[in-house]
């Protein structure tokens, strides 16, 4: 591990800030992470990780053990004495679809008076083109530098994605500041792309937009497979084997969700609009995603022989709530959106998720009003007219299907929105089966 005298401050200890701080400390740097949320800071100082993230606890504990990682309250405490300060605060969707920059602006105003001369402020949050300049304006300091360094980690594999990235992107008007940031990644073997801030900011949105496009495309192909009697798995195998297309991000499902794709795809449309470009392709990608959720609700209605607007008296067993497996994040989860619609149509919903196990963690701020959470997966089968597989948690695939059938009773259909189960195994247990793009 390279030992370096560079001191890093990280503002925000959410998915990105905590991973960034812990990974940089793991890579040999000295890091102080600050958050305004006292509860989070207390938890972290007590050795607890507030989020579900594979491998994070280990590197946080190791780095704290050797004194390279600290948690403090507030942005100023994190930025004091730092040579490089990372802003990892939220950029939620504003009312008009654009990214809300108020957290970034607030954080910049907070740290402005205490930054060391020559300090580099690095924006890791996902922000629209022009935000690097906006942060500079907010700081009102001509002796510090602002650099864009977008983050590409995925929740659930955040530590691996950070330590083994496909590339690192750095955008700066000042070559020296960009190189200072690039040096932090010296121990990682990865291409480093140094560009201007506008390009770096655009790369982040374009990457998320493209990935969302791949998923919308495969979901549209899955709909076509159902119509023409083809099998989406074979089709994906066939197209994904073409190296120009690639096999990743072509898993059909209930539509993409999570804390990034929904807000970033809308922000991309908005940014384009504000600059006079009608990004109609991105609008189509979003529309297909909305339609996909509707198609899932139609499948549930079909399974119980009802119209999707009237599901009163129908009991739905829900396997999974998070927006994908491997995370506890409920933000913009397709499961939550579809369940809300099912409930509006009158259905009763009983759900299990490995990260809730009967109750939400304080971190999972969400409106679960009216959803009953079960303690065990099998309990969602009790009296269920239809069982929905919302999330691809691998342990779900190991459930005893005979027991599911016994608890649910005859006539229950599994609507497998992640194609997790073998249709023949489900049918052999006496249950109905409907997947995505499978016939
Ligand atoms: N979650 C991801 O997978 C991911 C990946 C890449 C990029 N991003 C982007 O990174 C940014 C952060 O996302 P996240 O998921 O980590 O958010 P998050 O909500 O999990 O964490 C943000 C943290 O910032 C803290 N905070 C807010 N204002 C603060 C302030 N003034 N001082 C100190 N702390 C403050 C909050 O209390 C919170 O703990 C967003 O722009 C997001 O789009 C997220
Ligand atoms: O083949 C696939 C891949 C993903 N998804 C869905 O797409 C959504 C997003 O998944 P994923 O990209 O794995 O999760 P995130 O943690 O949201 O990561 C995305 O968003 C982050 C925040 O910007 C970026 O840093 C990452 O590079 C980008 O992958 C989820 O609902 C997944 O279920 C599919 O339906 N099919």
**Do the beta carbons of residue 29 and residue 184 sit within 8 Å?**
yes
Whether the predicted pLDDT of 361 surpasses 70: no
> Burial code of 139-161, b = ≥16 C-beta within 10 A, e = fewer?
bebeebbbbbbbbbbebbebbeb
Question: How is residue 205 written in tokens?
Answer: 């949105």
Which residue of the set 23, 33, 225, 260 is catalytic?
A: 260
Q: Measured from the CB, is residue 153 less than 6 Å from ligand 2?
A: yes
* pTM (2 d.p.): 0.96
In a domain, 340, yes or no: yes
In a domain, 220, yes or no: yes
Whether the predicted pLDDT of 135 surpasses 90: yes
- Distance in Å, CA 219 to ligand 2 centroid: 14
Q: Is 245 exposed, middle or buried (0-12, 13-18, 19+ CB in 10 A)?
A: middle
Which band of pLDDT confidence, cut at 50, 70 and 90, is reported for residue 363?
low
The response to whether 331 counts as a known ligand-binding position is: yes
Strands (E) in 60-104, as ranges, are: 69-73, 84-87
- Distance in Å, CA 126 to ligand 2 centroid: 15
Question: Are residues 17 and 48 both part of a single domain?
Answer: yes
Ligand 1 atom closest to residue 18's alpha carbon, by position in its atom list: 16
pLDDT at site 3 = 47
Question: Are residues 30 and 151 both part of a single domain?
Answer: yes
Question: Are residues 229 and 153 both part of a single domain?
Answer: no
Question: Are residues 337 and 371 both part of a single domain?
Answer: yes
CATH number at residue 159: 3.40.50.720
Which ligand is closest to the CA of 156, given by its number?
2
pLDDT at site 97 = 87
* Number of domains within the chain: 2
pLDDT at site 231 = 98
Question: Are residues 144 and 284 both part of a single domain?
Answer: no
- The interface predicted TM-score (ipTM) is 0.98
Whether the predicted pLDDT of 211 surpasses 90: yes
Beta-bridged to residue 85, according to DSSP, are 9, 121
Single out the residue of 90, 99, 82 nearest to residue 37, CA to CA. 90
Question: Are residues 400 and 437 both part of a single domain?
Answer: yes
Which ligand is closest to the CA of 267, given by its number?
1
Share of the chain above pLDDT 70, in %: 96
d(CA 88, CA 107): 9
d(CA 96, CA 366): 22
Q: Measured from the CB, is residue 185 less than 6 Å from ligand 2?
A: no
Q: Which pLDDT tens digit goes with each residue over 389-420?
A: 999 999 999 999 999 999 999 889 999 999 99
Q: Which pLDDT tens digit goes with each residue over 156-191?
A: 999 999 999 999 999 999 999 999 999 999 999 999
Question: Are residues 291 and 160 both part of a single domain?
Answer: no
In a domain, 224, yes or no: yes
Q: Which pLDDT tens digit goes with each residue over 213-232?
A: 999 999 999 999 999 999 99
In a domain, 95, yes or no: yes
Q: In which domain, by residue range, is 21 found?
A: 7-192
DSSP string, 332-383: T-HHHHHHHHHHHTT-EEEEE-TTTTTS--TT-----TTPEEPSSGGGGGTT
Residue 28 CB neighbours (<10 A): 17
Which band of pLDDT confidence, cut at 50, 70 and 90, is reported for residue 78?
very high
User: Which residue, by CA, sits nearest to atom 5 of ligand 1?
Assistant: 153
Any alpha helices (H) in 229-255, and if so which ranges? 232-240
d(CA 324, CA 137): 38
Question: Are residues 243 and 152 both part of a single domain?
Answer: no
Domain ends where: 136, 161, 192?
A: 192
In a domain, 2, yes or no: no
pLDDT at site 365 = 59
Rg (CA), the chain: 23
**Backbone φ and ψ of 283, nearest 5°:** -60, -40
Question: How is residue 271 written in tokens?
Answer: 């940014």
- Least confident interval from 50-64, 113-127, 299-313, 367-381: 367-381
In a domain, 439, yes or no: yes
User: Which residue, by CA, sits nearest to atom 27 of ligand 1?
Assistant: 89
Query: If you count DSSP H runs as helices and E runs as strands, how many of each does the chain have, helices first?
Result: 15, 14
On average, the pLDDT of the chain sits at 95
Ligand 1 pocket test, candidate residues 35, 43, 90, 257, most atoms within 8 A of CB: 90
pLDDT at site 358 = 60
Q: What is the DSSP letter of 194?
A: E
| Alpha-carbon torsion angle 105, 109, 110, 115, nearest 10 | 120
Which band of pLDDT confidence, cut at 50, 70 and 90, is reported for residue 5?
confident
Domain ends where: 192, 215, 237?
A: 192
Ligand 2 atom closest to residue 248's alpha carbon, by position in its atom list: 1
Which band of pLDDT confidence, cut at 50, 70 and 90, is reported for residue 111?
very high
Give the residues surrounding ligand 1 with Cβ less than 6 Å away.
11-17, 34-37, 40, 75, 88-91, 103, 106-107, 110, 125-126, 151, 153, 155, 259-260
Question: Are residues 377 and 233 both part of a single domain?
Answer: yes
- Distance in Å, CA 284 to ligand 1 centroid: 28
In a domain, 1, yes or no: no
- Distance in Å, CA 325 to ligand 1 centroid: 20
Domain ends where: 138, 162, 192?
A: 192
Question: Are residues 111 and 52 both part of a single domain?
Answer: yes
**Do the beta carbons of residue 352 and residue 377 sit within 8 Å?**
yes
Question: Are residues 144 and 230 both part of a single domain?
Answer: no
pLDDT at site 1 = 46
d(CA 418, CA 119): 47
Assess whether 260 carries a catalytic annotation.
Answer: yes
- Distance in Å, CA 81 to ligand 1 centroid: 22
Question: Are residues 54 and 110 both part of a single domain?
Answer: yes
């Amino acid at each position: 591990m390279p030992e370096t005298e560079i001191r890093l401050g990280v503002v925000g200890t959410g998915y990105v800030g905590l991973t960034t701080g812990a990974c940089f400390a793991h890579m040999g740097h000295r890091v102080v992470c600050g958050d305004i949320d006292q509860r989070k800071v207390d938890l972290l100082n007590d050795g607890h990780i507030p989020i579900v993230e594979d491998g994070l606890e280990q590197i946080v504990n190791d780095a704290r053990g050797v004194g390279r990682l600290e948690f403090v309250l507030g942005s100023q405490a994190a930025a004091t004495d730092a040579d490089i300060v990372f802003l990892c605060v939220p950029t939620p969707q504003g009312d008009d679809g654009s990214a809300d920059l108020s957290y970034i602006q607030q954080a910049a105003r907070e740290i402005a008076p205490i930054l060391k001369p020559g300090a580099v402020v690095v924006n890791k949050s996902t922000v629209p083109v022009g935000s690097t300049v906006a942060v500079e304006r907010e700081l009102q300091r001509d002796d510090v530098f602002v650099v864009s360094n977008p983050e590409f980690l995925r929740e659930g594999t955040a530590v691996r994605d950070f330590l083994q990235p496909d590339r690192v992107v750095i955008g700066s008007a000042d070559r020296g500041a960009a190189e200072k940031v690039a040096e932090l990644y010296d121990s990682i073997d990865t291409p480093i792309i140094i560009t201007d801030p506008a390009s770096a900011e655009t790369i982040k949105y374009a990457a998320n937009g493209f990935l969302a496009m791949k998923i919308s495309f495969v979901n549209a192909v899955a709909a076509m497979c159902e119509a023409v009697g083809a099998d989406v798995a074979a089709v994906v195998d066939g197209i994904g084997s073409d190296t120009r297309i690639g096999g990743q991000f072509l898993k059909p499902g209930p539509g993409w969700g999570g804390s990034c794709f929904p807000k970033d795809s809308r922000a991309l449309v908005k940014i384009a609009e504000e600059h006079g470009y009608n990004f109609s392709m991105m609008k189509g990608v979003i529309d297909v995603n909305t339609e996909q959720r509707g198609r899932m609700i139609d499948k549930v209605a079909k399974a119980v022989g009802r119209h999707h607007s009237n599901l009163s008296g129908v009991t739905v067993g829900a396997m999974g709530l998070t927006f994908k497996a491997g995370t506890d994040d409920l933000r913009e989860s397709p499961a939550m959106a579809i369940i809300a619609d099912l409930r509006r149509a009158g259905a009763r919903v009983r759900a299990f998720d490995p990260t809730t196990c009967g109750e939400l963690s304080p971190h999972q701020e969400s409106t679960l009003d009216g959803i009953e959470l079960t303690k065990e997966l099998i309990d969602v089968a009790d009296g269920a007219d239809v069982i929905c597989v919302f999330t691809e948690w691998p342990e779900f695939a190991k459930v005893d299907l005979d027991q599911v059938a016994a608890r649910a009773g005859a006539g229950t259909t599994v609507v497998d929105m992640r194609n997790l189960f073998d249709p023949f195994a489900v049918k052999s247990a006496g249950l109905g089966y409907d997947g995505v793009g499978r016939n």
